[in-house]
Amino acid sequence: MRNELKVALGIAGLVAAAHASAQLTLYEHQGFRGRAITINGPVSNFDRGQNDKASSAVVENGRWQVCEDIRFGGRCVVLVPGSYDSC
């Protein structure tokens, strides 16, 4: 289990560094399976149906801060380009 992505289980807030092509894709299940949502800019909160649903992620570009609680609360980590296949 990747320590950096443990926080994504409760993902509620995301911030992309100032980068025009910043892109993050979150997957519902480990191993990049299930429903996916691609994010290209800041999101302060997810709808109830999307919150607490991320189990893996791919960062194409940029640096992303992911937090376990709404409004960037709780524990936060920064994800850099790469693949995070489990949390």
Domain range summary for the chain, segments of one domain joined by +? 3-82
Q: Which residue has the higher pLDDT, 85 or 4?
A: 85
Q: Which residue has the higher pLDDT, 13 or 64?
A: 64
For 35-74, the pLDDT digits (tens) are: 898 888 877 666 665 666 788 899 998 888 887 777 778 8
* Contact partners, residue 49, CB within 8 Å, separation at least 6: none
**pTM (2 decimals)?**
0.70
User: Could you tell me if 14 and 64 are in contact, meaning their C-beta atoms sit under 8 angstroms apart?
Assistant: yes
User: With bands split at pLDDT 50, 70 and 90, how would you rate the model's confidence at 86?
Assistant: confident
Token pair for 86: 């489990």
CA torsion 38-22-58-50 (nearest 10°) is -30
- % the chain with pLDDT above 90: 18
- φ, ψ (nearest 5 deg) of residue 17: -60, 160
Q: What CATH number belongs to 3-82?
A: 2.60.20.10
User: Could you tell me if 74 and 14 are in contact, meaning their C-beta atoms sit under 8 angstroms apart?
Assistant: no
SS3 content of the chain, % helix, strand, coil (to 5): 15, 45, 40
